[in-house]
């Protein structure tokens, strides 16, 4: 098959969605399929057509918007995406279109039959923005508010018009079906994969706790710092960066006099080196559509701790990944989080037992399986 995968961003920016695209593309190509990535041209400085690890990349020009219209970028992108698709289809045809962003759905429907279009949502837009907007400064609130309304409307309209919506977790599946009244037969869970063999089991002999992720309100690292007020013996390594939110976290660390226990190391291209120095992994997110970093920690043989999802304050898929009491713990609040951290740091045998179980659990996730599942729906 000739497969088109779409997202506003790709190489050289390789975040979670982009890494997913890269890994799935590699698996498709191993099976003999041809893959093209359609994405924007950051700063309009990259080549319009190039190759990354044998993946063909076609870029559309990034629209330049006036200051007061920045919120409307999805509409501006849609117009240019439509023009680029028309140009591309004059040269070759595509058998399957996989989009990771709602902004591509409307242009796709103009050029492709519904049966060819799959949407893999990064989140449920309205819920993600609902969490994020509570922490946006007033000076930029309106821009984000209008943008959230636009993207949420695009998702609401789009999910009913594609052949399949393929969320990464049961949590996202259930919430999409409930929120958008989509037929369950068109919404199928396809978990992401991991190359677990590249992760080596760590020795778990130190007192370090690690948290990896973007420093933003929905990641809720503030609760982990609150928990560390009660942790008796342990140090925290925070991997990630995040502007104003990071400053807030640093200020809180100083206020609680925890600067000798908490270390900020910024964004890291290869956080694996910090995983090797840790014995417990914590992801305290309020909203998380999957939580790929859990898989990375488990592949390293590190027990995990997260808040237990309640569908209201905590909307995550942590309970789909962490097996309570076996590969880690799901906790109700900061005090219980501190208790479980202390329990793990104080019991090397328990850490090793949970780490070994986590390593075994993560073997069921692979990029080969992810690609195979997607292709299975394409062949129906």
Res. 133: pLDDT tops 80: no
Reduce the DSSP state of residue 84 to 3 states and report it.
helix
Name the pTM for this structure: 0.92
Strand, helix or coil for residue 59: strand
Q: pLDDT tens, 192-207?
A: 999 988 898 999 999 9
Output the average pLDDT for the chain.
93
**Helices (DSSP H) in 165-220: which residue ranges?**
170-180
The pLDDT tens digits of the residues spanning 71-122 come to: 888 999 999 999 999 999 999 999 999 999 999 999 999 999 999 999 999 9
pLDDT digits (tens, 9 = 90+) for 92-102: 999 999 999 99
Q: Which pLDDT score, from 0 to 100, does residue 45 have?
A: 76
Confidence of residue 363 (pLDDT cuts 50, 70, 90): very high
Residue 282's pLDDT band (boundaries 50, 70, 90)? very high
Q: CA torsion 101→23→370→129, rounded to 10°?
A: -30
pLDDT digits (tens, 9 = 90+) for 333-350: 999 999 999 999 999 999
Q: How far apart are CA 153 and CA 193, in angstroms?
A: 30
Domains and CATH numbers, the chain: 2-193+366-378 (3.40.50.2000), 196-364 (3.40.50.2000)
Up-side HSE of residue 67: CA atoms within 13 Å toward CB? 1
pLDDT band at 145 (very low <50, low <70, confident <90, very high): confident
Give the pLDDT score at 271: 83
State the pLDDT confidence band at 244, using cuts at 50, 70 and 90: confident
pLDDT at 10 > cutoff 90: yes
Q: Where are the beta strands (DSSP E) in the chain?
A: 2-6, 34-41, 49-52, 55-61, 96-99, 117-119, 164-165, 208-212, 235-239, 262-266, 280-283, 287-288, 304-307, 315-316, 328-331
Strand pairing of 164-165 and 117-119? parallel
What is the tens place of the pLDDT at every residue in 183-237? Answer: 999 999 999 999 988 898 999 999 999 999 988 888 999 999 999 999 998 999 9
pLDDT at residue 330, as a whole number: 99
Residue 95: other Cβ atoms inside 10 A? 13
Beta bridge partners of 282: 305
Q: Which of 38, 378, 57 is nearest to 190 (CA)?
A: 378
Q: Which helix (H) or strand (E) holds 342?
A: helix 334-345
Residue 138 has pLDDT above 80, yes or no: no
């Amino acid at each position: 098959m000739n497969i088109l995968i779409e997202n506003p961003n790709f190489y050289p920016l390789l975040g979670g969605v982009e890494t997913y695209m890269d890994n799935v593309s590699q698996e498709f190509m191993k099976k003999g399929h041809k893959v093209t990535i359609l994405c924007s041209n950051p700063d309009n400085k990259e080549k319009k057509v190039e190759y990354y690890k044998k993946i063909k990349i076609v870029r559309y020009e990034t629209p330049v918007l006036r200051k007061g219209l920045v919120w409307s970028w999805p509409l501006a992108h849609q117009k240019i995406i439509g023009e680029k698709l028309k140009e591309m289809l004059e040269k070759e045809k595509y058998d399957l279109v996989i989009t990771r962003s709602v902004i591509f759905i409307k242009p796709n429907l103009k050029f492709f039959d519904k049966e060819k279009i799959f949407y893999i949502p990064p989140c449920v837009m309205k819920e993600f923005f609902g969490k994020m907007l509570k922490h946006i400064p007033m000076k930029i609130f309106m821009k984000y508010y209008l943008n959230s309304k636009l993207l949420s409307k695009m998702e609401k309209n789009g999910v009913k018009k594609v052949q399949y919506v393929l969320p990464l977790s049961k949590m996202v599946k259930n919430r999409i079906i409930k929120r958008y009244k989509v037929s369950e037969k068109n919404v199928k869970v396809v978990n992401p994969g991991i190359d677990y063999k590249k992760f080596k089991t760590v020795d778990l002999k130190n007192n370090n706790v690690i948290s990896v992720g973007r420093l933003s309100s929905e990641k809720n690292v503030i609760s982990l710092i609150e928990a560390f007020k009660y942790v008796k013996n342990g140090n925290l390594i925070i991997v990630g960066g995040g502007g104003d939110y990071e400053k807030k976290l640093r200020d809180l660390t100083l206020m609680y006099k925890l600067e000798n226990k908490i270390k900020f190391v910024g964004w890291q291209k290869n956080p694996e080196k910090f995983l090797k120095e840790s014995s417990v992994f914590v992801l305290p997110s309020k909203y998380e559509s999957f939580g790929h970093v859990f898989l990375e920690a488990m592949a390293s043989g590190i027990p995990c701790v997260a808040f237990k999802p309640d569908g209201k304050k905590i909307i995550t898929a942590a309970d789909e990944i962490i097996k309570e009491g076996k590969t880690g713990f799901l906790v109700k609040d900061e005090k219980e989080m501190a208790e479980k951290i202390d329990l793990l740091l104080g019991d090397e045998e328990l850490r090793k037992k949970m780490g070994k179980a986590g390593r075994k659990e993560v073997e069921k996730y692979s990029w080969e399986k992810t690609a195979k599942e997607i292709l299975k729906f394409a062949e129906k």
